[in-house]
Chains A and B, each alone.
Chain A
Amino acid sequence: MTERKSDKPAVIIAVALLAIILIGEVIVYTSDYTDYSAEAGLEGDSLGYQVSADGSKTYSVVVNDNGTYDGMDRLYIYFDESYPANYEDVDVSIGAQALDQRYYLEQVVNLLKPRNFHDITYVDAEQLADALAGDLASDGCGTAGLLVISGVLPDTVYTGNADDTIFQWLSGGGSLYWLGNLIGECYATTDGLQHVDGYQELFFGAECLNTEGVDTAYSEVDGNDYTHALALQSNSVKYAVDGDRVPDDRAHLSIGFTEGGYSSITLVQYGSGMVCVLGGDYSNYQRNDLVQIISSGLGPQSSIVSVETGTVTNGTVSGRIEGVTGSSLSAFIYLGGYYPVYNKLFWL
């Protein structure tokens, strides 16, 4: 009978491994975006900025001239299960929860937190009508955004007429973020969907939506560098806008990826406000782009003044960008590149 070897090595490894797992658990549930911070301010035409991080992170400072668009700082999210939705079910990764409207929106809210966008209100169909009417009455449309991912607006704000509440609110400066289906093609009543004729003209003044079945883009949009500057990811152009077909009297900004003239993201001016359409059925890439667009404060007249990137490692990095001029300037700072962990927007 051979003498038994000591099992101390196994015990030590077991205890160490369990300790690693438990320490990891604490790290997972105590880590926060407050490990990061950013500041920016304009002195004359010189932008000073400061970025801090625990750990090593790439950062980007994107300075925009937004024309007449002043951005918004509060967001309504439309969600009403008593009204029908009109979006396609999508495949998700193995083990992932079905990416339905509720789960998508929950994640949007969770993702907007580290992007320093906190003023978020869920509204059902009735509350939406009240909220938009309230904005119109208080002249507060210009500070408000509305996110609709159900693929259809409720009849409380949209019935296919040019004088519907949604259009008054947009004209007054509201920002509508839309995805999930062709914008305005139908409106929802509690009984079902109602088709609208001429819906594209209502929203854009021309037929410009992708109804052709072109789904996937393989090229980046030319003419601006927002695709890289904002680390945009979704390359689906289903339901998307062809910006070139939008009438000249409406400013538009096409960004992301393009196929057949359609862009994965298009922001189109509507009166003092705008309509932002993200192409494609629900996807994680699309959701990432959505929160990036909302938190960046981009508008249909936005253009890049300057982009500066760098790395901050366990400390603070300061920098200065000269020659920053424009009519409605903003500095959008984010950390993590294509894996953003922290965003902050500064109106200058």
Chain B
Amino acid sequence: MNIVICGVGGQGILKAGELISICAMLSDFDVKKSEVHGMAQRGGSVITFVRFSHKVYSPTVPVGEGDILLSFEMLEALRYLKYLKKEGIGISSNIRIKPAGSSYPENIERDLQKRGFVIVDCKSIKDMRFLNTYITGFISPLLPFEENMWLSSIEKVFTKSIEENKNMFLKGRRDGDSLYWRRAFNRRYRKHKRYLSGKEIDRLR
């Protein structure tokens, strides 16, 4: 299972990657996560790879092999689209952050939707510190982990505001779940769900 998480430095992308990875480890998978520190965190474009399976080799997701592309920002979703499989699931927040010195592409939301992206409304989140737990909650129904595993991972990953993080995660999880079921006829999601059901999960583990 290959997850690509991207966005803008400072949005909490690395923590989201850590949360998914810890949850995968607690659920007995082999996990690898790869990211880059230093310059990349000063408001630049940030990408993190999380992979889990019975055995993971490469720490990075090869181009075109991402099962899920999760973007915290719309322009970044477009930038890293090449990592997503043809039948992969693309999810992006509806946040726009203009890059310094260039204009923001117009109609990006429609463009992403045309490419099959699910656009998550994140503008209602009052405190952007919880964007990462909300959005991770949003994709959590697509991943083969139990809810209590997620909650104990939150306890391990966050040192502050654990209750708020849990609540935001659960809110994201509910919103995600209802959206996927509203779109229950979305072939891509059903296929994904099948891929992650029963025997498939055992095989992965």
* Chain B binds chain A: no
Q: Which residues of A contact B (CB under 8 A)?
A: none
Binding site for A on B (CB under 8 A): none
